[in-house]
């Protein structure tokens, strides 16, 4: 089966892709293109899936550069192919051609960045914790340090959980309002004392606050489309033992 790759016109001229679960070798709850090294899927099958992604991106598998994602606001600068321990961080930036920056998600926001004029790219994993702690703004800062200019940066949020599927409790709302009272705009009333949180809208807010020239969301909901996307929250609701991880990548 062929891989399915979602791309954004705003990133034309830069090789990139938000890969769906279609076209992979995994089975069971992971059926499809599970690229999560941290899942309990068979490691050799995950390697096959990642090799297919590398081939689609016209790079060697060794040139897929990722991080050990920990819901932080840490960003690393990538200067060469991975070697040694994988850094613990949630975003990567580079000005090196041929290196493909990789982010894994299963409801959180995968965000791909590019300043085509400066030849600087970035990729970030932004769940609610990373986003409120500034992972997106820090990614932009690190790109600027490499020579990018804020107004020339394009940022695209890929498939993520949408507001209609993201139910949270009152303490979650309280945390966001304590951070900034204006954050109430990203919540809608749910049933009882529950609220529905708009993660992609919050991500776009953070990107625009960081001064990027263009920011958009592909408008794909991971929770609502099980045929195309893995979803951590959906797996919890279905009481599944684990879940697959989607891969998003960008390269110069």
* Residue whose pair of structure tokens reads 């990538």 in the numeric block: 78
222, two tokens: 């991971």
> Domains of the chain by range and CATH?
5-162+198-251 (3.60.140.10)
Using one digit for the tens of pLDDT, what is the confidence trace for 28-69? Answer: 999 999 999 999 999 999 999 999 999 999 999 999 999 999
What is the predicted pLDDT for the residue at 1?
59
Chain segment 91-119, per-residue pLDDT in tens = 999 999 989 999 999 999 999 999 999 99
> pLDDT-based confidence at 141, cuts 50/70/90?
very high
Longest pairwise C-alpha distance within the chain: 51
**178: number of Cβ within 10 Å:** 9
Span 57-84, average pLDDT: 94
State the Cα–Cα distance between residues 48 and 43, nearest whole angstrom: 9
- pLDDT for the residue 82: 86
Q: Rounded mean pLDDT of 152-167?
A: 98
Q: CA torsion sign, 251 to 158 to 203 to 174?
A: negative
* pLDDT at residue 83 in the model: 83
Q: To the nearest whole number, what is the mean pLDDT of the chain?
A: 97
């Amino acid at each position: 089966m062929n891989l399915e790759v979602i791309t954004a016109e705003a990133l034309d001229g830069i090789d990139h892709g938000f890969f769906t679960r279609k076209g992979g070798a995994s089975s069971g709850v992971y059926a499809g293109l599970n690229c999560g090294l941290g899942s309990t899927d068979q490691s050799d099958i995950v390697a096959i899936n990642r090799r297919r992604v590398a081939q689609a991106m016209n790079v060697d598998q060794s040139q897929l550069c990722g991080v050990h994602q920990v819901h932080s606001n840490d960003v690393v600068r990538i200067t060469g192919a991975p070697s040694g321990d994988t850094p613990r961080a949630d975003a990567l930036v580079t000005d090196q051609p041929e290196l493909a920056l990789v982010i894994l998600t299963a409801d959180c926001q995968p965000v791909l960045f590019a300043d085509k004029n400066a030849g600087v790219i970035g990729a970030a994993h932004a769940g609610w914790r990373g986003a409120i702690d500034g992972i997106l703004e820090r990614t932009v800062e690190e790109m600027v340090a490499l020579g990018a200019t804020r107004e020339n940066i394009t940022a695209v949020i890929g498939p993520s959980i949408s507001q209609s599927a993201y139910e949270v409790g009152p303490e979650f709302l309280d945390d966001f309002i304590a951070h900034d009272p204006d954050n109430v705009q990203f919540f809608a009333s749910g049933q009882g004392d529950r609220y529905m949180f708009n993660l992609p809208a919050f991500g776009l807010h953070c990107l625009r606050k960081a001064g990027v020239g263009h920011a958009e969301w592909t408008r794909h909901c991971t929770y609502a489309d099980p045929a195309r996307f893995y979803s951590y929250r959906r797996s919890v609701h279905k009481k599944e033992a684990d879940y697959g991880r989607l891969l998003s990548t960008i390269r110069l």
